[in-house]
Structure 1
């Protein structure tokens, strides 16, 4: 894995970890990897196996394509857009908080 790609991969992982509100220790525990190994991945200093990619992908709710290449085919989520289209923008902060909490919950539930 070229060094620049490893840094970009690590940055994508770190960005999603932070977006989900995880600290590095939380993510490492959920993905069943060591905290120091995760830190090395996020800094782009170490590569990782397909097994680790799968674990990180599941816990971060990201496709492997996105983690590796920064691109993914868009899934059809138009039904979600339709449901939210009539929602007053004043509810967006609560909706975002609720969605983050839900994503954390399903990630933890899948781990058990």
Structure 2
């Protein structure tokens, strides 16, 4: 699967619009659309920003490898972030999958900046 198709599949799987991904990645809607259709290729910076917007790593888009930011279900999130889960759920609160992806992105960003 090429990069554009992978990005489109991830976007659709998550229920995001082109505009949501473009806004989160800091690029234009038309550019994301052209990438998805195979008309253009993103540079590394844009690929990284698109990946972050989709909640995965650039590696995952390029090669399908797992990353800290690829949270698929509650069990996976629980395995990757047991201490975070313990803190967040200590009062019996539930975490939505969308919030799990956001938390995973925050953690990945913090790790990358070190």
TM category (shorter chain) comes to 0.5 to 0.7
Q: TM-score, normalised by structure 1?
A: 0.61
Give, in whole Å, the separation in 1 of the partners of 2:27 and 2:35.
11
Indicate the structure (1 or 2) with the bigger Cα radius of gyration.
1
Which residue number in structure 2 is paired with residue 54 of structure 1? Answer: 48
Aligned-residue RMSD, C-alpha: 3.3
Residue of structure 1 equivalent to 2:112: none
Q: What is the aligned partner in structure 2 of residue 98 from structure 1?
A: 96
Pick closer, same or farther for the CA change 1:100–1:78 going to 2, 3 Å. Answer: closer
Aligned length: 88
Counterpart CA distance in 1 for 2:62 and 2:19 is 22
TM-score by length of 2: 0.60
Q: Which has the higher helix share?
A: 1
User: Which residue is equivalent to 1:10?
Assistant: 4
Structure of higher RCO (CA pairs closer than 8 Å, 6+ residues apart): 1
Local SS of the residue matching 1:54 = helix
Tell me if structure 2 keeps the 8 A contact 1:20–1:104: no
Gaps of 5+ in 1: 84-94
State how far apart, in whole Å, the 1-side matches of 2:77 and 2:100 are: 18
Match among 60, 73, 80 for residue 78 of structure 2:
80
